[in-house]
Amino acid sequence: MRGLCSLFLVAMIAAGCASPAPKAVPEPTVVLPPPSPRPPPKIAPSPRLSPKPPPVKEEPPAPPPLLSSQVGGEEEAKLRQQAEVRIEGAESTAGRIDERRLATDQQEIFLTIRSFLSKAREALAIKDFSRAFTLADKARILAEELLTTLR
C-alpha cells in the first residue's frame, strides 16, 4: 500500500508540473504628466527666534478734520441760529416728558434723547452745523414718539 500511495503522490506531483505555464500578461503602462513645480512652502519665523520690536509709544489719534464747507460770517450766523432753534425745539419737546411715568425701556429712550441733544450742542460748538441739525432732529422725533406713548 505504501508503494501505491507513493506512486500516486509522484503522479500527482508530476501532473502538477506538467501543466503549461501561464502566459505572462504585459502590464499596462500609465503615462503620468510631469509634476507641476510647486513653490517652496512659506515658513513663518519662530516667535522665539524673531527679535521683539521696541515698544512704540502710541499718541492719541488726532480728531478727524471736519468735512464741512467753508461759509461766510453771515451764512455761519444763519446756520448757527437754525441749529439753535432746532435744538431748543427738541429740548422743549423733551421737557414735556414726565420722567417719573417712564418704564425702563422708555427711560433708556429718554437718555438717548438727552445724549443726542448734548452731542448736538457739541457739534454746534465746533461749527458742525449739519451734524447739529441731524442730532437735534433725531432728539425731537424720539421725544415726540415718546410723548405719544405716554398719552
Structural domain boundaries of the chain?
Answer: 73-150
Q: What is the dihedral of CA 42, 47, 50, 54, to 10 degrees?
A: 130
Which residue positions in the chain have pLDDT lower than 70? Answer: 1-36, 39-41, 43-71
Question: How many angstroms separate the CA atoms of 105 and 141, rounded?
Answer: 17
Contacts of residue 131, defined as CB under 8 A and 6 or more positions apart, other chains included, come to: 119, 120, 123
pLDDT computed for residue 63 by the predictor: 62
Residue 41 φ then ψ, to 5°: -65, 140
Question: How many angstroms separate the CA atoms of 140 and 151, rounded?
Answer: 17
Give the pTM: 0.54
